[in-house]
Every structure is written in C-alpha cells, then in structure tokens.
Structure 1
Amino acid sequence: MQVVTALAAVLGVVALLLLPGVAAPASAVPETSATGADPAQQSSPRFARIVIDSMTPSIVTTTSRPLVTVSGRVDNIGDRSISNLSIRLERGDPVSSASGLRTQLADDDPAIAVAGPFETLSESLAPGESVGFRMSMALSAGSGPDGQGLGISETGVYPMQVNVNGTPDYGNPAQVAGSRMLLPVLSLPPDENRARNYVDPTDETGSPSVPGLGPDGSVSADLASPARMTMLWPMAAPPQLAPGVLGGNTEPVRLINEDMARSLDTGGRLNELLKSLQKVVGTPPREESGPPSSEPPAESPAEPAPAAMPGSEKLAESMCLAVDPDLLVTVRAMSLGYEVSTNPADPTSAARPGNGSEIAGRWLDDLRWTASRMCVVALPFAQADLTSLARIGNTGLTESALRKPADIIDAILGVRSVRGLSVPALGAIDDAGADALAEAAVTSVALASNSVAPTGRRDDTGRYRVGRLTAQTFDAPITASLAAIGTAPSTPALTPKSQQVDLTDESTGSRRQSAIAALAYPAIAAPQPDSADDSGPRNPVVGRSAFLVPPTYWSPTVADSDALFATARLLLESGAATPTPLPSLVQELNTAGATGRLTDPPGVGPVGRIGSVLTSQATAAIRRNVEDSWQFEGALVRSADVAATPERYMSPLREDQLRAIRSPDVAGSAVYTHLRRLQEERIDAVASTLHRLGQSVTILDPGGRYTLASERSPVLLAVRNDLALPVRARLTTSAPEGVEIGDLGVIEIPARGTRQIQLPTRGETSEAVTIDIRLATVTGVPLGQPITLQVHTNAYGKPLFYITIVAGVALVLLTARRLWHRFRGQPDPADADRPEPDELERMLAGSGYQERRRTLQGEGRPPGEEPEDHPHDP
C-alpha cells in the first residue's frame, strides 16, 4: 500500500510538471528550457513583443529595496488572437566573463537557475492590442510575499528574462514572447535568512561566512581593488561632405544631404550626445543675440557656467571626449555657409542652399565650451581603416589620418588634446595596421580584448606590449552592449555570432538595462586570485580594468545617457571604481610589462577583411589620386590676394580619400556593398576634380600659321590660369631638325589670369615647320591640352650661307684684280670695250657743276642730258 501511495505521488508530480504554464521547482529548473514550454515548440514564430519600461532597481545595492520590479506591456504583433496569457520572471547564473554579457542574451535556449510563478496576464489579446504588466520578485530565496524569490545571495551580473506564455489561435500553448536583460548586483540589502549564516570574524570556532556578509544579512561590494574607470565619449558621424570640392573657401562647401543639420539640431543624435555630456561638465551660458562664431570663444570669467549634476566631479575626471576631426571640419564649414548637392557623385552638379548654418555654429560653440572643461582625444580622420592605409602605402595620407587629427582638433576647439593614443573605429588592427601606426609615430592604441592574445600572464589592467606598440584593451562585449542602446541600435563588426543579440526583439528599456549592467560589470566582477589558473577562457580584461569604449557612431538618448551616468557615479562614489584620466592612462601605458600579440577575434574572421572594403582597383586609384594631389599642391604658390594656402586648397581631396576608406561600423554584405559604392563615388569625384584642375591651366592656341619676322624672332604665346592660386609651370616643346627653341625655365602663371610668353626660337630653314608645345606643372602634372603650331621662320639656312660666302670671295678677287692692274698702269680688261672720252667730256670731268651747266646750255643740251655717242676719231 505504501508503494502504491508513493508511486501515485510521483506520477502526480510528473503530471504537474507537464501541465503548460506551471513552473517547475527551483531544483528542477536548470534542466528545463528558457521558454517554460515544450522544447520542441521553441522554434515556433513569435506572436507578441514585450516592451520593458523599467526595472527597479536598475543596479542592486545595500540601500535597494529587497524586491525586483519589472513593468512594461505586451503587444500582439501577429495576425492571431492569443488566449490564456501568463507571465513570469526568470533568472540565470551570473555571467562569468565579459562575453557572457552578450551570450546570455543571444542564446536561444539559456539555462534558467530560478523562475518565479506564472501570473495571469490576460484572457485574450487580439492582433494589434496591448496589455500592461507589473510584477515583483524578492531578491533572496524564500523572502517574498509568496515565499519565492530570485535566490540572489552574491554580487554579480545576472541574466533576467520576462517570459510570456499563451495559446495562439489554431495553435498550442507556447512561449509567445520573451525579453532578456541583465541585473547588476553591486551589493545586497539586509536579509534575515542571510543573517543567520553570519559568522563573527573574531570567532575562530565558526566557519567563515559569505565574503562581504554583514550581521544584518547585507552583502557589501568588493572594494579591495577598485576598478580603474576611464570612459571615452565618441563624437563622430559618417562623412557628409560631398567629394571633389576644393578648400580654402575658394568653392562653396557642399554636403551630400541635410542629415548633419538634423543631427545637430534639437533632438538629433549629435545634439543629444552633447546635451548629455553637458550634464557632467555643465551647460554653457547662452548669449542673447549675435550670430554664431566660427572661432573659439573667449573665456568670460564674469559669467559662471551653470553647474553640472551633483556628484559629477569624479565622473568628469574619468571621461574623455573622443572627437572625429572630419566632424569638426564639416560642422565648421557648415557654420560659414554651405550648399546641398543634387548629385554628390558629380562635383559640378547643381546645388541648393543649406539651411543648417546657424544650427551648426551654435552646436560648435557649445562643443568648444564643453571641450575646454574636459579631456579631449582625436579619433582617426573619418574613421579611416588602418589596414587600408597600409595597402595604399602613402606616408602623407597615413599621417593625415593618424597624426594630424590632433592638430585639427586643437585648432578648431582651442584645446590641447591627448597625444600618442589611437582609437581605431573597428577596435582591432592587424600587422599592417600596426605598421601604419608606427609609420605615423603613434605609439599606443586602444584595442578590443578579443584581438590581443597574451603571450604570458594575463594582465588585469588590460595593458600589453604588442610589438612596437603598447595596447590598452577593452571588453568588446561592453562596447556591443553600449551599441545596442539609443535610436539606432547596432551590433559592432567585431561581435562573434554567439554574441549577436536580435535587437529587434528587445525594447528600449531592456537594452538600456543591459547596457547599465555591462558598464557596471568591470567594477562588480573581481579579478581572479593570483593563484588562479590562467589557462581558462578568461579574457585579457576582467574585473578591475574599466576602460570603456562605446562605438563610434552610437546613438544614446538623453535618458540612456542619464542612466549610464547615474550608474557610473554610483560606482565611483561607492568606491567600487576610481577615476583614471586618459592622460594618466596613456602615460602608464609606457610601463606596461605584459606582452601580447595581435590576433583575429575568435568567431569573427580576419581583421583586414572585416575592416576594409578596399579592392585592388580602388587601392591603385586612391594611390594615384593622392599622388596627383600632392604633385599639384607642390606647384601652387601662395598669393596675398587669396586667403587659401596651397595645403588648404588641396587637402579636401585627400580627406575625401580618407572618407572613402572608413571602417564599417557594422558587418554584413549589404553594408560592404553600400560602402564600396560610396567609395567608388568619392574616388571618381576626386579624379574628376584633379582632371578639372589640370584643364584649368592651358596654352591659348593662336591657330593658323605663325610667321617669324626673322630667323631669331621669338614665338609669342599666352597661357591662362583659371585656378584660385598661382601655379608654377614649364613649357616643353618638340620641333624638327633645323629649329631650336629655348627653355624658359619655371614660369609663374597668376591666379585667374593670363600671361604672355616669348618663346626664344632660332630657325635654320625657310620651310614651314610643325612645333608641338606642352604645358606641365613643375612637379610634372600635365596642364591643359598640347597645341601644334605651323611656323615659318623666314630663314634660308645653309644654302644662303654658302652663296653669301662664294659671292664675298668673288668680290674680293675682282677688286684685287682691278687694283693689281691699276698699280701696274695697265688698263683693266673689263674696260676694253669702253669708248675713249672726247675733249668736251674731259673738260666737263674737270669742271664744277655750274660751269658744266653753262657749257651744256651753250651746246644746246638740257642740263641733265648726256651727249650722243659718236665714233672715235682715228
């Protein structure tokens, strides 16, 4: 009878466990699935969505209430009604490594350590309808009003899930919605059950109590080794300047669209980022009138700035503003007036006036004020990919991307930014990228921990010597958690498949809660003891290193930022974390003792393939464009009439090539295809502008046939320069044999003007010849179109020379013969046929003019008439 009774009891328990909607006992929960239903039904489609409004407390401390309360709503997003809706709260085991911050949320079937009872939510929910919920559960086991609790007795970061079961029309009972988040437990409030386990540390007879356990059952935070907190605050945006536009205010600034103006305006992403940051350092005073200034504002000690939020001093000390210089270049250009191109791929296309100049000027003034009160570090220009820079192999371009950004930041913001540290957008580099950093004389780099493999003992500060560089590592899963918040949640490219969370299933509240937990994780998860085995899956950064690097293009709202700042202030004020200014961190990197090597992040792939979309054809085109731009710049001359310098005039074209190789912020074939299309547009636009520059300086073709006045007459030419700066050039000629053309050397052609040139020419033939004339810069860039002249030199050449010599010799000989006969008193044979003069002729030959006149008149001859010839007398 006792056997039958026991068997009936066992069958009853089994039947109870098989009923849908009934939770298993805590001891049996770890063996069940996350859905709370049959595992075979877990692949069924989702019919509903859970929207989390809040979780209270967002971080558990000794002063928190002993209850965890979650509120929100359930939306029916399917096309069927759902009946018998029930809801419960579940938790898993605390995450043991940074990767668990994402894997616990991405796992389709996470293990459940504790689950609360299902509560009825709604009898029926039609498509498009919503139902709100609010449920609470005790932190400790057995301390809730219903005798159940989450059973949390130690500090850590715990995965939580809100699970909703129901029966869709034409379906079976199943999980219809689920939402996961993380609950950080820094310390625990008093608890009677835990107090029973307290052992006075002075009592040597009792067994040791739980670490941090107080006599009232509270559990204190581990403050023995505070986390060294350094948090970057990225301020960047995808490139917005239209390509192929020259700089120095010589051409109207063009943008590809008005997205930047919307981002800078109230409610925009960049405006929200700056407004949130001002809650830490203070808000700049507003001037009542006056246009926005394009220069750094002068300090005004007479008007103190509004104070920041209380308790923000340590937080401000730990934060550093990370700015993309391309963003500053764009916003400053906008503040001075700009246009929006109708076809960004064509630099000469039509454009319409931009509407965001005032907005850009105001935002830039606010940023200057904010930057003057905190640490600032420059990001690589336009988030250029380091591997791509190495492939292109242009030293000047590499320096423009990695070394000059700090100078740009300082010039525009009026600050002195942190030097020596590069923060690649991808978060990882390969050996080629390391060579690019070394070439630019950058000695330190911030890298994701999964891209650095320690070659010796792991370092809890996350600092390693990697070849010629020193690296400060950060946890990529924390970066992924921060990327998931805001108006445009994303998954960074370095995130392995196992850590990729479906963000479409998670609401703003759940994503924000997970980001709070990720931020707190380094201060909560204490490092393993020195004697611990380092051969496990522990990441290089675990525990007390809190170097926090959000993604470059992240989009937190003011509410998201407030929650993150509140958590950071709590950690700093409690002593679980201590502020570490970025300049101090960079200085300490020089003393890094642990060694490591670069590696491809596990589960992601080669860094060079992830971060670069550069093809071999694009590499050659960029290299050619950059070289041509440098050569053209070398031929330009600064003019007092133009504010632009040759460097400012040409640098936008090289900056366009940096924008063309920006790192992808997320992975995926669609993203790479889009970036390659933009890359081709920028390369082609720059090539088009360089061609236009070359055609803007040309020789004016005189046309027709050119006749020289003599064999040494110069050829007269005119050259025209339509550029905004003077250019130094050379003429090169090609002429046939018999024509020599002198070299004029370097000629300077004035800006937007013409210059006449006399080309020294010497002809040795009287025939028409063809002369080819070309114009090029002193650096070898061809200018304009070559011209061909038909030139007649009006010279006879060698035949005339020989004839002249022969005639001269003959004249000398004949003269010598006549003199020879005269000296000898002999008549010249050439005079043999000449008649002898008569008496009258002899007389006239010896008389004067008047006498000859009278004599001839007496003879009856006109004064000028000669006498008739008559034969000589015998």
Structure 2
Amino acid sequence: MSPQLGGAHTPENPVRVRTWTKAALVAVIGVLLTAFAPAAPEATAQPGEQVGIDVSSVTPEVVRSGSEPFLEIAGTLRNNGDEAIDELEMRLERGEPRATRPSLVEAMRGGAKTSTRTRFTTVADNLAPGQRTSFELRVELKGTGPQSLGLERPGVYPLLLNVNGDLAPQRRARVGSANFMLPVLSLPGGSTEPPSQSTGITTLIPLVDYPHMAQEQLPGRPTILTDDRLAKSLAPGGRLSELVDAVSEEVPADSELGKSVCFAIDPDLIVTAKAMAEGYQVREQSGETVRGTGSRAAADWLNRLRETVGGRCVLSLPYSDADLVALARAGLPDLIRGSMDGSGLISSELGVAVRDDVLWPADGALDRSTASQLADTPVRSVLMHPDSLAGTSGTLRPVRLNTGNPDYAPTARKIDPLVADALNPARGQQAGGSTGLAPAGDGMPSVLDGLAALTFRANTAAVEGGTIIAPPRRWNPDGAELRGFLSGLRSLGKAGYVRPEPLPSAESGDTGGDSSADTSTSSTGEAPQRVSPTYPASSERAEIPPSVLDELAAQNYKVGQLYSAAEREPALNVDPARVTTPLRNGLLHGASSAWRGNGEAASHWVDVASRTLEGVLDGVHTAKFEGQITLTSSQGKILVTVQNDLPVNVRFKLHVDSPPGVQVDDLGVLKVPANGSRLFLPETTVERSGKFTVDVTLRTEGGAKLGQTRRLRVDSNAYGTVPLILTITAAALLVLLSARRIVRRIRSRGNGSGDGGSTGGDGTDPNGPGDSPDTGETEATPEEDNPAPSETSPDEEAPRPGGDGGPPERGTGEPATDNDPRRS
C-alpha cells in the first residue's frame, strides 16, 4: 500500500503522484535486493506454537579463528497442531552479545530481543498435522549480505530460529521458534585473545534412568521388568548407549579432558542391566509375563561401559537416585544408609574403583538433618548447588557444611549454577537441575547454552573456585549432540578459556576436619567457616509425598524383620542379605528422584515393591491341610506343618487364635530350615466337646506376618474340666442316693422282724423299731432274708398253700386285719 502524503489530503495531479510513487518503490526494492533480505510480513508469535523444532546439529558449536565462515543448522520440524500449515519458511535472527549474567540468563530462557535477521528460506509448501520435515539452514557469520549474521566482535550471542507459515488464507503467523546461544571466541580468520585466567572444569556424565525392575532375581524367582523400554536405551543409538560411546570416542581416559570427566552412575541401572543380560521377563498390562528382548543389548552395553570407565573417575549415586531429604524427613535413616551402599556393587560389576566419599544429591540440595545423617556413611564431600548454601554467592570455592554434628563437617563443592541452568531444559526453574528425563529435541540448544555459559564464565563472569559441570540427572542429548559438547570443551581448552581438572580426592582435604587446603578460609587464616545448608523451596515442593513414604516405611519394617529372622543355612550358604537387599532396593524405587513432583508414580512403585515383598514373605507358610483334626481327650495336640521356600533358615513364632474353652500352648521361637519343612505339635487343652476352628499365623519375633493365616478344623470328643467335674459330681450323687435307698430298705425290713419279743396290739415293738429289750438286736427270719419275689394286689387274695380254702399268707409274718393301716 502506498503511503499517503500529507495525511488525508488528495493530490491535485494524481497521475504525477502515481508516477513518482512507482519510481520510489522501484528504487527502494532495488536497494533491498542488493543489500537486505526481501520484505516479508512481520509475524507475531502465537501462544502455544504449533510447530516443534528439533535442532540436531549446529556447526561450529564454538566459533573461533580456525572455524569455517558459515554457520550450518540442521534438524526437523513437526506439525503438532490439528490443521495443515502452508508455505513454511524459516530464518535466523540474532541479538547483541551478552554483557551481564542476568542478561545471559534471560537470553537462555528466550527473552532476548533480536537485532539482525536473515531472509526467509522456504522449508516446505505444506505440513499436515503430525507430519515431519527436515531442514538445513546455512548462513554467513560475518558480512552484510541477506544471509549473514553480521558478527563484528567476539562474545556470546543469542540466536532465534523463527518459523512462519500460513494457517489460513490471509493469516500468516509465527508457528514455531527455538532459542539457543552461540559462543564466539574470535571471528573466522581473526586471532583469539584468551582471558587472563582460565576456568578449572570437572564434567559429570550421569548414567541414570527410571526404575524398571518389578522383581529382582532371587533363588527360584525370575527377574521381572515392568516394561522393555530400557532395552532400547541400551541398544546402539539409544540414549544410554550414546552417552557411553560419545565419551569413549571423544575423550580417551588418558587425555587431559578425559581425566576431568567423572561418571555418576545409579547402582540400580547396573543391577537392572546385569539382570537383563542374564535373562529376564516383562510383565504386560494383562498381568502375563513374556520374555524380554534386550539381553544381548544389555550385555554389550555393560561390556562397553567396563571398557569406557577403566581408569576414570566414577561416582555412585544413591540407589535408584533416591530422594535422601525425603527419606530423612520420613524418619528412615536406615534407608538412607542402605541407599548409599551401591559403590561396592558398581565396583564389582565394572571392575573399577568407585569414589564412595563423594555424594551428588538430587537437585544438589540437602537440609541440615539429612546432612547430619551422612556421618555414618563414607561421604566426606557433597556436590551442592549454591542456592542450597547460605551466604556463599559470588564464589565457587568449597566450604565446610554445618551439619550440627561437631565431629562431622563434609566439604561442600559447588556446582556452577550458570552452567547447570544452561544445560537444564527447565532453564533454572529448579535448583540444581531437572530430575526428569530431558525432553527430546532440547539436547543441542542446551549443549550450546552450556558452552556459551562456560565462555561467559571465563571471559566476563569469572569467580573464585573451579566449575563443576552438572547436567540434568537424566540428560537426553543424542550422540551427535554430546560429541558436539565434548568437542566444544576441547575447543575452549585449546583457546585457554577452560582448564580440565580431576575431581579432588578425599586425601586433598575432604576428611571432615576443620582445615583444608582447598576450602574457603577466613581473612585471618583461621579454619574455614561452616556454612549451613538451605533447602530450596522449589525442591521442597517437589519432594516425594509423606503419605507415600509412610507406606514405604511400613513395608521396610517387614524387610528388616525378615532379615532379623533369617540365618544362613550352611548347606546352601546364602547370605540373608541376598534375600532382603533386593526387597529394600525395590522399595527405594518409590523414593526415586524420578518421581519428584509425581506422587502418583511414587505410590505406584511402592505398591509394586510391596507386592513383591508379600510374595517373598509368603515363602514361609503353613502347609495346606484339608482334613479335620480330632481330639479324643482334654489334652491333645494339633498338627501344624510349616513350609519354607526361601534359601535361608527362618525363625518365627506360632500365633494361634482359638475360641473360648480352647487353650493352645506357646512353643516360643521356632525355626524352619531353608527349602524345607517341619511339623510342630502344640499342646492343646479343651474344656468342651464339639467342632470348632483355630487360626494359625506365623510371625517374626517383631510381629511381621509370614505367609497367610491358615484355618484348621478341630473336632473334640473329649470332656473338658467343667464337664468332667459335673460328671463326677453326678456319679457321686447317684452313688449316695442309691446307698441311702438301700439303707432305708434294710432298716424298714428290720423294723418288722422279731424272735419272740413282745409286740403291742398293733403289731409293733414297744421299745421301738429294730430294738430288743433283751439283746438290743433283732434277728431276721428266713422269710425276711429271702423276701417273696412279688406282691399281690390289695384287691386280690393270695393263694393258700394247701388249697383254695386255706388262710392267706403274708410275707411279713404279721397278722392281717381289716384295720391294718398299710391296707388301702
């Protein structure tokens, strides 16, 4: 659109004006064609950019006098939106070199303004949703052409890749962008002026992944992984494979840079890779297990790692890179100590000496309580982010850590925060670095930012003390990106910007004392001041939730109880720790730094470890008994068979829950042999008969349950104490009543007998029944000794001995009268 001269005024001669305007436009276009890029619609950045940019290579990573005069950038674009994009174009923009640390940090986070732009280059005519396309961009480093960055002096420059496209007709916008820094030591063909003093550097290469092992191999139990993703990472071209290969190829162990490289290895990764190499299974979502596919890749990776770490510095991270501060706050000092014993495992598997005196905690942060609990470990040096140390800004010199223990003050060696934030994809949003897997596609920008931060540190922001280069725990550069970073370190070394240095050993002053040749001292030359740790709020917010750690603590108690109850069986010679250590390590998966900020994942892994633990505890159990136990007396025995499927002897106690009236004796502490069984016969006292059940549970001396509770059916035919007493009492009463009746019958018969004694008119002895005045004793007649077998009815007449007409007989020898009161 032509400009309107004089605002809204209409020229008097439109033809002349149009002619002049055309001539002016032709002249302007001619100038632009010869000096600058063609004019293009200025695009505004879109919120939630639709195109993702993966920068795979930038050459050179560090510009110096011997560099080619061109900057070459390659990578891929991906349409992350749900609509196609037409006419994709790309250009490179740069800002002014950074002069202050805040401005450098702002630029690394994408906040720098650009001042020079190359012309747009077509990348693709159309990019459908989900589609990818590769790109290559080549620009001149210096000069004034349309494809030149126009560099004029050394410095650290912010660069912006700007991608424009048509989202709809007449709707052109910026659809993607990527920011990174370019360190320029000198212009191509010029001379490099090194800084007055180089910066000492030590580089950490972390070998850390996510937990994968659901069940570590035990005798009779296979290795089971939750997925097979680690196989891909260990195979050639995978993340962990490239980390090892790049260091091996770029920095030999005996080179100057190689001596300053230190591998920081998670023992859990070595344990998992070794288990995979020996054969493993993968549990699918359905719950079924299938054979893993990564055995060969794991074995090859371990062999290459052994060759690479030979003669190098190796550190052991806490097992599964556990969040030590979270464990300390949950009151689990035994798990802190247990997580720190992985150095021996790494040493035996890789055949290399491991620095167990150095700790690199998650986020480079500790609180005072956690630091004090390290006194029981070999740790004498801690790699910490300066944000976690009170009052130590402006210097990178080591300090002593105030743990609250006067006898323990480890050396705190500071991670360079500028470089750590540059290599961190989160761009410094967390103290010390991100603990999650770095996003794919961010590797090369972070590598360039790291090299730029080192250049800026040496040239503009030099401070006392050496620089420890600490990438994110789960750094994710591909092989080319890491090779570029290591190559850039060599270039900075040759230019005199950096000076590779090995990590100081414990003998150089890291002994926990109050003096050291390499720690900060006061102006009077006294012992260095102890600095208190300050735990960053960002780290505290991301901690493993207390509820998860409470459950972890409960399960860890069971592991400790099993260890206390187990003992070595000489015939099998299996150390009880061989059974319990994998269980403890499984619980540490739930406290891994990988789950910081993800409490749901941490809880899931505690559940996975708990199910494995229960499976091992079920290895000691009461044998199944379908029958019924019969007790035939009040004192009997019930039969309990205990089976032990573990390769160690196990001590336990029988806990029997029985109904009222049933008492089972306590047998005390019992023992069942490894891979064997024993029959136990606890004495049982019953106080009633009938059918009932008893529940038998095996527990350790501390109360941890072994196996499942077994219910036994018991049938008692015996009388207990109370029924027995009642029976005896009834029998005694029966005897007494029978005796009383017999005595009364005898006495009643004696009252009716006489041997010539006088009787009264009613037929009774006047001296009383059974008494004789002469003898005091009545003699029974023969009839009384042999009473008649039966009696007649009162209505019937008794037969006479001589015939029917004889007088009736009486068995009592008494005369029968009609007035006899015994007659009715």
Partner of 1:517: 452
- CA–CA distance in 1 between the matches of 2:382 and 2:85? 53
Indicate yes or no: 2:488 matched with 1:567: yes
CA separation of 1:103 and 1:436: change in aligned 2, threshold 3 A: farther
Among 260, 276, 280, the alignment partner of 2:246 is 276
- Any conservation in 1 of the 2:108–2:422 contact (CA below 8 Å)? no
CA separation of 1:477 and 1:261: change in aligned 2, threshold 3 A: same
Q: CA deviation at 1:660?
A: 0.8
Partner of 1:757: 680
Q: CA deviation at 1:87?
A: 4.2
- Any conservation in 1 of the 2:92–2:161 contact (CA below 8 Å)? yes
Larger relative contact order, structure 1 or 2 (CA cutoff 8 Å, min sep 6): 1
Partner of 2:618: 692
- CA–CA distance in 2 between the matches of 1:20 and 1:727? 91
- Any conservation in 1 of the 2:458–2:498 contact (CA below 8 Å)? yes
- CA–CA distance in 2 between the matches of 1:370 and 1:123? 41
- CA–CA distance in 1 between the matches of 2:685 and 2:433? 77
- CA–CA distance in 2 between the matches of 1:95 and 1:64? 23
Partner of 2:219: 249
Indicate yes or no: 2:106 matched with 1:103: yes
Partner of 1:453: 390
Indicate yes or no: 2:159 matched with 1:220: no
Indicate yes or no: 2:628 matched with 1:703: yes
Partner of 2:208: 236
Q: CA deviation at 1:57?
A: 3.6
- The more displaced of 743-752 and 698-707 is 698-707
- Any conservation in 2 of the 1:526–1:543 contact (CA below 8 Å)? no
SS at match of 2:140: strand
How does the TM-score come out when normalised to structure 2?
0.69
- CA–CA distance in 2 between the matches of 1:351 and 1:103? 50
CA separation of 1:356 and 1:180: change in aligned 2, threshold 3 A: closer
Q: CA deviation at 1:124?
A: 9.7
Among 585, 589, 596, the alignment partner of 1:655 is 585
Task: Tell me the amino acid that sits aligned with residue 421 of structure 1.
Answer: V
Partner of 1:613: 544
- Any conservation in 1 of the 2:364–2:431 contact (CA below 8 Å)? no
Alignment of structure 1 residues 387-398 onto 2, 5 Å: 387-398=325-336
CA separation of 1:614 and 1:734: change in aligned 2, threshold 3 A: closer
The CA deviation string for residues 120-157 of structure 1, in whole angstroms up to 9 with x for no partner, is 6459955568875422132xxxx767999745435x42
SS at match of 2:420: helix
Partner of 1:426: 363
The CA deviation string for residues 440-498 of structure 1, in whole angstroms up to 9 with x for no partner, is 5634322223333325x7323354535444322223453354355xxxxx767617999
- Any conservation in 2 of the 1:466–1:596 contact (CA below 8 Å)? yes
CA separation of 1:562 and 1:520: change in aligned 2, threshold 3 A: farther
Q: CA deviation at 1:53?
A: 6.6
Alignment of structure 1 residues 120-139 onto 2, 5 Å: 121=121, 125-127=125-127, 133-138=137-142
Partner of 2:807: none
- Any conservation in 1 of the 2:442–2:477 contact (CA below 8 Å)? no
- CA–CA distance in 1 between the matches of 2:567 and 2:124? 79
Partner of 2:6: none
- Any conservation in 2 of the 1:386–1:433 contact (CA below 8 Å)? yes
- Any conservation in 2 of the 1:375–1:418 contact (CA below 8 Å)? yes
Partner of 1:718: 641
SS at match of 2:591: coil
Q: CA deviation at 1:512?
A: 4.3
Alignment of structure 1 residues 343-362 onto 2, 5 Å: 343=285, 349-362=287-300
- CA–CA distance in 2 between the matches of 1:364 and 1:131? 36
Q: Number of paired residues?
A: 672
Q: CA deviation at 1:270?
A: 1.6
- CA–CA distance in 2 between the matches of 1:470 and 1:254? 40
The CA deviation string for residues 143-185 of structure 1, in whole angstroms up to 9 with x for no partner, is 767999745435x422223456788764477666544321213
Q: CA deviation at 1:362?
A: 2.4
- CA–CA distance in 1 between the matches of 2:309 and 2:422? 26
- Any conservation in 2 of the 1:698–1:721 contact (CA below 8 Å)? no
- Any conservation in 2 of the 1:76–1:125 contact (CA below 8 Å)? no
Q: CA deviation at 1:107?
A: 3.4
- CA–CA distance in 1 between the matches of 2:670 and 2:167? 85
- Any conservation in 1 of the 2:53–2:78 contact (CA below 8 Å)? no
Alignment of structure 1 residues 191-590 onto 2, 5 Å: 218-222=191-195, 224-242=196-214, 245=215, 247-280=217-250, 313-343=255-285, 349-401=287-339, 403-438=340-375, 440=377, 442-454=379-391, 458-461=394-397, 463=399, 465-467=401-403, 468-484=409-425, 494=430, 510-527=445-462, 542=463, 545-584=466-505, 587-588=508-509
Task: Tell me the amino acid that sits aligned with residue 245 of structure 2.
Answer: K
Q: CA deviation at 1:322?
A: 0.9
Partner of 2:813: none
Among 785, 793, 797, the alignment partner of 2:710 is 785
Q: CA deviation at 1:234?
A: 0.9
SS at match of 1:454: coil
Percent identity over the alignment?
Answer: 25
- CA–CA distance in 2 between the matches of 1:169 and 1:761? 88
Q: CA deviation at 1:734?
A: 7.0
Q: CA deviation at 1:673?
A: 5.9
- CA–CA distance in 1 between the matches of 2:590 and 2:185? 45
Q: CA deviation at 1:364?
A: 1.6
CA separation of 1:21 and 1:635: change in aligned 2, threshold 3 A: farther
Partner of 2:601: 675
SS at match of 1:705: strand
Task: Tell me the amino acid that sits aligned with residue 478 of structure 1.
Answer: V
Q: Which of 1 and 2 has greater Rg? A: 2
Task: Tell me the amino acid that sits aligned with residue 414 of structure 2.
Answer: T
- Any conservation in 1 of the 2:57–2:481 contact (CA below 8 Å)? no
The CA deviation string for residues 501-520 of structure 1, in whole angstroms up to 9 with x for no partner, is x979x776545433432454
- CA–CA distance in 1 between the matches of 2:50 and 2:698? 72
- CA–CA distance in 2 between the matches of 1:751 and 1:123? 70
Alignment of structure 1 residues 43-54 onto 2, 5 Å: 43=46
CA separation of 1:567 and 1:148: change in aligned 2, threshold 3 A: closer
Task: Tell me the amino acid that sits aligned with residue 345 of structure 2.
Answer: I
Partner of 1:301: none
Indicate yes or no: 2:94 matched with 1:94: no
How does the TM-score come out when normalised to structure 1?
0.66
- CA–CA distance in 1 between the matches of 2:201 and 2:433? 28
RMSD of equivalent CA atoms:
4.6
- CA–CA distance in 2 between the matches of 1:634 and 1:774? 18
Task: Tell me the amino acid that sits aligned with residue 607 of structure 1.
Answer: S
Task: Tell me the amino acid that sits aligned with residue 466 of structure 2.
Answer: S
- CA–CA distance in 2 between the matches of 1:48 and 1:730? 66
Structure 1: which 5+ runs fail to align? 1-11, 24-34, 192-217, 283-307, 485-489, 528-541, 808-831, 834-874
Q: CA deviation at 1:331?
A: 1.1
The CA deviation string for residues 102-135 of structure 1, in whole angstroms up to 9 with x for no partner, is 5303335x234x525x536459955568875422
Partner of 2:806: none
SS at match of 1:582: coil
- CA–CA distance in 1 between the matches of 2:338 and 2:186? 48
CA separation of 1:146 and 1:655: change in aligned 2, threshold 3 A: closer
Among 524, 527, 533, the alignment partner of 1:598 is 533
SS at match of 2:674: coil
The CA deviation string for residues 406-448 of structure 1, in whole angstroms up to 9 with x for no partner, is 1222232232210222112333334454355456563432222
CA separation of 1:553 and 1:748: change in aligned 2, threshold 3 A: same
Indicate yes or no: 2:156 matched with 1:157: yes
- CA–CA distance in 2 between the matches of 1:744 and 1:122? 86
- CA–CA distance in 1 between the matches of 2:180 and 2:397? 27
- Any conservation in 2 of the 1:137–1:144 contact (CA below 8 Å)? no
The CA deviation string for residues 845-867 of structure 1, in whole angstroms up to 9 with x for no partner, is xxxxxxxxxxxxxxxxxxxxxxx
